[in-house]
Structure formats: C-alpha cells, structure tokens
Amino acid sequence: MQLINHQNIQKRSGGRVLLNKVFKVLFFLSTTVGLIFLSMLLYRVLTQGTGHLNWDFITNFPAPYPDKAGIFAGLIGSLMLMAIVAPITIIIGVGTAIYLEEYARKNRFTNFIQANIQNLAGVPSIVFGLLGLTFFVYLFQMGYTLIAGGLTMSLLVLPVIVVAAQEALRAVPNDVKEASYGMGASKWQTVLRVVLPAALPGILTGTILSLSRAIGETAPLIIVGAATAIYSIPDSLLSKYTVMPIQIYNWTGRPQEEWQLVAAAGIIVLLTVLLLMNAIAVWIRNKFQNRY
C-alpha cells in the first residue's frame, strides 16, 4: 500500500518553490532597509562633515567659533575613558565568566546570578548613570571626574562582557577539557592552559564590541558630570573630562547652521574610531579562530 501520493506532491511542488522565492525576496528587502538607512546616514554625515575635517579639527580644543572648534578634548577623553574601562571590565568580567562557567555548581543561586547578569545587560544606560552618580560621585566623593565616569561606564559594560565571555568559554569543546582533567590537571591548570587560549578570540571580540558600544554612550556620562566644553586634556584620574559623543551632542544643540557641520565632522571622527575598534575585533577573530 502506498501512503504517499506522488502525483499530489508533484502538483504542490510549484507552490512550494514559489513560496521559497517570495521569502527570499522578503529577507533581501529587510536587509536592504538597514543598508539604505546606513548609507543615507553616512552620505549626510560625509557631505556635511568633510569640509570641516582637517588636522586642526582633530588637534583643537572647543572654541566659540565654528572654524576654530576641534574635538581634541573629546577624542582624548574618550580614549582615556576606554583605558580605564577596558582593564577593569576585562579582569572582572572574564573572572566572573570563568567562575560561573567552570567553577560554580549549577544550582538555584548561580541560576539567579546568571539571570540577573543577563537582565543587567539590558538595563537602560541612564540607570547606570544614576547608579554611578549615587555611588561614585556622591557616596565615594569622587565628584565629576574621569575616574567616576570610567567606573560608571565599567558597570554599564561589565554584564555584556560577562555574557560574551561565558559564551566563548562554553564554546570550548568538552573533550579537550576532559583530556586535561584526565591527566590529573587541576581546574585552574585546565582553565589557564586549555580553556582560556581556546576562548580568547571569542572573549576579545566580545570585549571590543562592547567597548565600542560604550564609546558611543552619552547619557550616563552626562549624569555623572562629564563636561561639555573643556579646554585641557585630563592629566589625572581626578581631572575633568569630556568625551566625543557629548561634544557632538553639544554642537548639535546650537542653533547656527555652521555648528551642525562641525558636529558632522565630529561624528566622522567618532565613527572612524568605532570602525577601527571593530576592525581590530575582526582581525583578532580571523587570526586566532581557526583552532577547532
């Protein structure tokens, strides 16, 4: 007895193929929506900003006149902020991830921590700003300083890095860990010699991507008191500082048309730094990732 009627299948096959084509077009269109808006944005920014973009713009401090104004304070501020955020978040974030993935027993408590970290990764950045204001600026009396901004930003980035590092650690095949344990290696030896080297590309890419998100953050830094116009670069952790997004925000808020062009030039610098960081992430991934 035949349970399958091949003639019916034949009749329906045209429809199935057509449906496949329809979805292919739909998916292509959704991809282009993103591309169209990205290219519109880039086009606008580039046409407006390139006129103002020159070496002086990068090396000048803010000024009351558009053609004298520069982004030097913001650029250096952003880079210094990252120099604080990166080591703090990498050490604490990777440490947390190693503990949760390799050491902690899977019980309700660790599940609770796990769920909370994932929730924290989705908390709006302004909430972290308020937290930083309460703790670092007021409670620890750091004031509106670079270190207060850096620590606040670290809190913001930390959950994302923990989650990324956990994923990378989880992707290390179990059988190489077993091989190490099977020779009498301790957990730490296994983590240090087998797990971390294999997970490193994933951890670094995740870290750089979350840092490049942080470099564009504005809201939490406004709350913890980053300056809008500043005429020196920070010389210590307790200096006043500003960052590129705040500088750009400040320029966009001004009524004169010319300042908009300055802001566009600032956006180009910010995007360049972002692209550089992403390029490094891609480079690291390609360099180390063909291990398994």
Residues 188-227 that bind another protein (CB under 8 A): 189, 193-194, 197-198
Alpha carbon distance 189, 155 (integer Å) = 29
* Assigned token pair, 270: 């910010």
* Assigned token pair, 113: 């921590």
Alpha carbon distance 110, 254 (integer Å) = 49
**What is the CB neighbour count within 10 angstroms for residue 30?**
9
* Assigned token pair, 47: 């046409």
* Assigned token pair, 247: 């500088």
* Shortest separation between residue 190's beta carbon and another protein, angstroms: 9
Nearer to another protein (CB atom), residue 161 or residue 168: 168
Q: Is 292 exposed, middle or buried (0-12, 13-18, 19+ CB in 10 A)?
A: exposed
Listed in sequence order, the residues at least 6 apart from 80 whose beta carbon sits closer than 8 Å to its beta carbon are 146, 233, 234, 241
Chosen residue from 106, 108, 255, 257 binding another protein by CB under 8 A: 106
* Shortest separation between residue 101's beta carbon and another protein, angstroms: 13
* Shortest separation between residue 192's beta carbon and another protein, angstroms: 10
* Shortest separation between residue 179's beta carbon and another protein, angstroms: 5
Nearer to another protein (CB atom), residue 28 or residue 292: 292
* Shortest separation between residue 205's beta carbon and another protein, angstroms: 18
Residue 237 makes contact with another protein by CB under 8 A: no
Chosen residue from 91, 179, 238, 276 binding another protein by CB under 8 A: 179
Q: How many H-runs (helices) and E-runs (strands) does the chain carry?
A: 12, 0
Nearer to another protein (CB atom), residue 180 or residue 278: 180
Nearer to another protein (CB atom), residue 6 or residue 106: 106
Residues that bind another protein (CB under 8 A): 105-106, 173, 175-176, 178-186, 189, 193-194, 197-198, 291-292
